[in-house]
Amino acid sequence: MKKSTLLFTILLSGIIMAQEKQIAWDLYHSYENFKEKTLTNRRFKHSDIVPLIERLKNNKNFKVDKIGISVEGRDIYLISLGSGKTKVFLWSQMHGDEPTATAALFDMFNFFSADSAYPEIKNLILSNLSIYIIPMVNPDGAEEFQRRNIVEIDLNRDVLQQQTPEAQILKNVFDSLKADFGFNLHDQGRDYSAGNSFNPASISFLAPSPDYKKSLTPPREKAMKLIGNLVTILNEFIPGHIAKYSDDYEPRAFGDNFTKLGTGVVLLESGGWRGDREKQFLRKINYLTLLSGLNSIATEGYATTDLSVYESIPQNEKFMMDVILKDLRLKKDNNEYVIDIGINFDEVNVNDAKDFYLKADIEDVGDLSVFAGYEEFDLSGCTVEPGKTKLEIYHNIDELEKINLTQLFKAGYTNVILQNDSFQGEYSHFPFNIILNNKAFREGKIKPEESPNLIIKKNNEVKFAVVNGFLIEIEKVEDWHGNSIVYGK
């Protein structure tokens, strides 16, 4: 390249990027106008999105097709818009408990439904692109809020065998389109970090490998440039929270397979964000990312992005924990040890998977200085011991409500025994665990995989209790917002 041409290219890519960032900021600020207000958390179902899809049939911008049914007979939809020559295929929620991008797609449908807003961007996208979207590939999994489909097959390991109707549908649409670009939309665990940055990997990208050699084929290179472009835009909003998913080739996965067949596939994984378990902020970031991506494909602005941007994205690592209790003193015989305690929560589905409670486990004990917590508590100077079970027997809820909590914790208890056959539920909002009918009673231990029920003292006075991983300041028990566990159900 001649020096003057090179300079011109650099200048041009700078101007394009400045424009794209400005568009992203405009979309960020106007998001509430387009957000689909009926989707409020991650556990929406197929029956919640069907009326939203039906509504699109009345809008001239959209074409809605039923393209097949799931194992349990739920309709799977393909929504199309735009009339351009470049084809873009987006599919979301092939894993039933990964709905963040699905909600963002409905926000995006609202964006394209509104007549007056952003006519230039919309016209640009819709005249240059033909966009095809399957918003919920795995509706049966969504119903149970589980990864796999209803016969426990992971759809993203079924592209070769295509045993499931859901995988067949996805593959058929792909084969009929041979799209230029694909967006493979997922959620990933909260424990992923952006390298060793102490930040969650809130958005992770990958241009999947087309083979075991991880060859850099033209479609893959195109996807890498597009990702580099998106990362540059997202750095405006979530700097330090972007990572790269493992590029190990998985022949049974859709993204890898579609890359091999010639589509520039962008894998997008929504991870964790501090203070956002329901991922509503990350849903907004998805909305921005998808619209920015479509815009950049429409203008071909992504093509000026240097591959080094993709290469410099930090890897997904696993250095996040839900809670870290730091610098506690543990006494054993005449010795004292300084430890951190790392805690992770599992979500347990209840109420037909419309809701959940949290069940904590101790993840690790010792020097956890390389990890970061979504919440961290500095407890230096405090001692820790396992919470005990009070052996007095309670008979009903009234008696539990009368327990003096300060006295309970000061005596070292985090668990009580309830003799009651009619008690319902696997969890409670009492700030102590309940052991039913003295079943499942055992001494608490501070070790990995045990439940974190702890008593924390300063100068020999009980200051804090930890019940099912939730820290309670005993002078402010009324601030408790966690849930405890009912054992022996």
Residue ranges in contact with Zn ion by CB under 5 A: 95, 98, 186
H helix runs in 178-306, sequence order: 218-234, 254-260, 280-299
Spatial CB neighbours of 448, under 8 Å, sequence gap ≥ 6: 361, 362, 363, 364, 365
Shortest distance in whole angstroms from residue 252 CB to Zn ion: 13
Q: How far apart are CA 238 and CA 242, in angstroms?
A: 7
Rank residues 245 and 357 by Cβ distance to Zn ion and give the closer one. 245
Residue 473 half-sphere exposure toward CB, CA atoms < 13 A:
5
Rank residues 95 and 244 by Cβ distance to Zn ion and give the closer one. 95
Rank residues 251 and 488 by Cβ distance to Zn ion and give the closer one. 251
Rank residues 39 and 137 by Cβ distance to Zn ion and give the closer one. 137
Shortest distance in whole angstroms from residue 184 CB to Zn ion: 9
Rank residues 89 and 413 by Cβ distance to Zn ion and give the closer one. 89
Rank residues 96 and 342 by Cβ distance to Zn ion and give the closer one. 96
Q: How far apart are CA 32 and CA 107, in angstroms?
A: 9
CB 263, CB 181: distance < 8 Å:
yes
Q: How far apart are CA 198 and CA 319, in angstroms?
A: 7
Rank residues 98 and 191 by Cβ distance to Zn ion and give the closer one. 98
CB 401, CB 431: distance < 8 Å:
no
Shortest distance in whole angstroms from residue 343 CB to Zn ion: 25
Rank residues 63 and 171 by Cβ distance to Zn ion and give the closer one. 171
Instruction: Tell me which residue of 275, 107, 282 sits closest to 203, measured CA to CA.
Output: 282
Shortest-Cβ-distance residue relative to Zn ion? 186
Shortest distance in whole angstroms from residue 147 CB to Zn ion: 7
Structure-token pair, residue 270: 């929504």
In this structure, how many other beta carbons lie within 10 angstroms of the beta carbon of residue 191?
Answer: 20
What single string gives the DSSP state of each residue in 138-152?
Answer: -HHHHHHT-SS-TTS
Shortest distance in whole angstroms from residue 382 CB to Zn ion: 40
Shortest distance in whole angstroms from residue 186 CB to Zn ion: 3
Token look-up 């794209």 returns 20
Spatial CB neighbours of 439, under 8 Å, sequence gap ≥ 6: 487, 488
Spatial CB neighbours of 13, under 8 Å, sequence gap ≥ 6: 301, 304, 305
Spatial CB neighbours of 351, under 8 Å, sequence gap ≥ 6: none
Shortest distance in whole angstroms from residue 62 CB to Zn ion: 26
CB 403, CB 432: distance < 8 Å:
yes
Shortest distance in whole angstroms from residue 146 CB to Zn ion: 12
Shortest distance in whole angstroms from residue 154 CB to Zn ion: 9
Rank residues 138 and 229 by Cβ distance to Zn ion and give the closer one. 138
